[in-house]
Structures are given as structure tokens and as C-alpha cells.
Amino acid sequence: MHKIYATTYLRLLLYLVILGMVSLVQSQEIKIFTTSDFDLNGPVKSCLVSTKYGKEAYDFNRQGMLTKSVTRYNDTDYDVTYYKYEGVELIEKRFENYRNDVFDSSTSYANFYVIDTIPVRKVTEKIITYDKEFLDRYEYLYNADGILVKIIRTNNDGNDETLIEYTDYKGEQTQTNSLNGTILKSVRNSTKIAKNKSQQRIVLTKKFLEGEPHTASEEIFNSEEKLISETRFIQDPKKKQFAPNEVISYEYDERGMLIKSISKLGKVVDIKEFIYQFDKGDEGNWIKEIITPENSYTTRKISYYEAEASKVEENE
């Protein structure tokens, strides 16, 4: 299945923080987005995505890292996010909100990152509005192996501590996130051998509400790391256990492109097929995706970096 345009989701979360509507209790390691997160291959310079809901524009540097994203709702309402790096580290991110073509400083904000590696890695994130109002401070703490184990959030309401624990039992690895001692989420990774003798990876994610099981999902990936099956569960209050609610299967062509999905929700079966057009014949990146039977489509306009000129050898 295609990787979602995650910047929009992240932007929404942080925007809600500004409005004071939610708490980022399920914080996770800072993510640097690259072309691969947007289903893009090769030296992509920019990508403009158009749907009936609006447009998303993405700019990338030569290393494939996202440097700018624009979410445009209409001609005058849009959001812009800038990403600044130092080497491979994200050091600054700025979100700017424009409505009626006017910049709104009260709902625009900046994230600043400071990286320390002695004695172990620690990343400090500070979030402030363009009106110089302090919002949040996060400390991301890692162990000696460079694995995130703790997140400390500080704001005007006090401190929150998220612990991330890892266990390994009979070949199954489980990650458990807890906020101030209350479990938030657990993710279990395991493997199995399929009927065709190939190895599959299984990810079971459970989410909790006030420490009680709430929802769950099981994802199965093939040996090429393509999602081939997804089962979504809901908590059955009578049986006090998870019950399957929806099962989705995915099919791919020889290129690894998603061509079909089958969703079963109760007695309802929803089948979708995906058709693509590419910018270099059957090679390169897709520039149009059509989903049948509803015949909805997404188009992408992609530009590429030109090959860098070969370096001239210095005269001896």
C-alpha cells in the first residue's frame, strides 16, 4: 500500500497543540521525511500532488530529504512547512499558516532541535509560536545502542514522561510505550513462513485508552516488505477481548505497485483496483493513479535534478 503523505498528519497534530485541543501523549522518535516516504524514486527535486480535495507540493534536496511542503486548500488558504538540516540531522522546522493570502503569526510556529551525543544521544526540541509564545519542550533520550527509550515533555502544565520499553521473547520483539506509568501502545514484531516458503513479517499493534485495550491492528508484510494483509480489531466489551472488525488484502504487480485491494467489513466487500501512468513509459515514477470502480484519480507533476557534472581532475 502506498505510503501516506505523513507531513499532513504531523502538521495537524502540532497545529492542534497550538489550539490546546490535544496532548501529544503518543510522541515518537523525530522523523526525517525523504522521497521514499512519498513513493518517489530517483533524484526527485519537487512533486506536486493534485486531488479533488486540494494540492500538496513537496521539495527535496539532492540527498532526497524533504525541505519544503505546501498544503493548498484553495487559491488563498494554504500552509507551508520548511525543513532545515545540518548534515543528516533536522535542526529546524517552521510551519506557516496563510488564510485569505494573509500570514497568521498566532497559529504559525517553529520547532528547533539541538542534538547532543555525549555520553549518549539526546535530542532536545523546543516549540514556540511566531508570536514568541512557548508551547512545548521535548527531550528524546536514547540508550547506548542509539535506541529511543524515553521522551520527556515540558510545558506550562508541567512534565510528562513517556517510557519506551523493548522485550524479546521466543523471537518476538515487543515495544511498549507508557505515559506517566499508563500504557499507551504496544507493537509486537514476529515472523512466519508462508505457504510459498517465503518469510513474512507480522506487526501486531495494540492501542490503549486510559490504560485499557481500545483498538488493535495486525499487518502482514511479504519478503519485499509490501503490506499484503491488514486486520483491524475493536474491543468487545462483553468478551473483554479484541474482535476482528475489518480485513483488507492487497495485491501488487511485478514492479511492486499496488493494483488491487479487497476490504471485508461484516458482509460488505469493497474491491478497488489501481491503474497507473508513468513519467518514463513503464519506468520512473507514477504521475497518475486511477482508482476503480469510483474512477477517482490523483495526479503528480514531478521534476528531477539534473545529473551533476563530473568533477574535473586536478592537474598534477
Q: Match 462483553 to its residue by C-alpha cell.
A: 238
CA end-to-end span of the chain: 53
Strand partners, 84: 92
User: Quick check: 55 and 48 in contact, CB under 8 A?
Assistant: yes
* Ramachandran class of 154: left when φ > 0, alpha when ψ lies in -120 to 50, beta otherwise: beta
| Number of residues in the chain | 316
pLDDT of residue 16: 39
Kind of pairing between the strands at 172-179 and 182-193: antiparallel
Average pLDDT of the chain is 88
Q: Is the pLDDT of residue 311 over 60?
A: no
Q: Which residue has the higher pLDDT, 14 or 217?
A: 217
283 pLDDT higher than 90? no
Higher pLDDT, 44 or 53: 44
Q: Residue 253 — pLDDT band, cuts 50, 70, 90?
A: very high
- Residue 74 DSSP class: S
Residue 28 pLDDT grade (very low, low, confident, very high; cuts 50, 70, 90): low
User: For position 238, what pLDDT does the model report?
Assistant: 80
Question: Is pLDDT of 76 > 90?
Answer: yes
| pLDDT the model gives residue 316 | 44
Confidence (pLDDT) at 13:
37
Tens of pLDDT, residue by residue over 166-225, are 999 988 999 999 999 999 999 999 999 988 889 999 999 999 999 999 999 999 999 999
* CB of 82 closer than 8 Å to CB of 102: no
Q: Is the pLDDT of residue 312 over 70?
A: no
Residue 167 is predicted with a pLDDT of 96
- pLDDT at residue 15, rounded to an integer: 41
**pLDDT of 22 higher than 50:** no
Q: In sequence order, what DSSP letters do the residues of 194-208 get, joined into one string?
A: -TTS-EEEEEEEEEE
Instruction: Return the residue matching grid coordinates 555525549.
Output: 118
Q: Is the Cβ–Cβ distance between 97 and 104 less than 8 Å?
A: yes
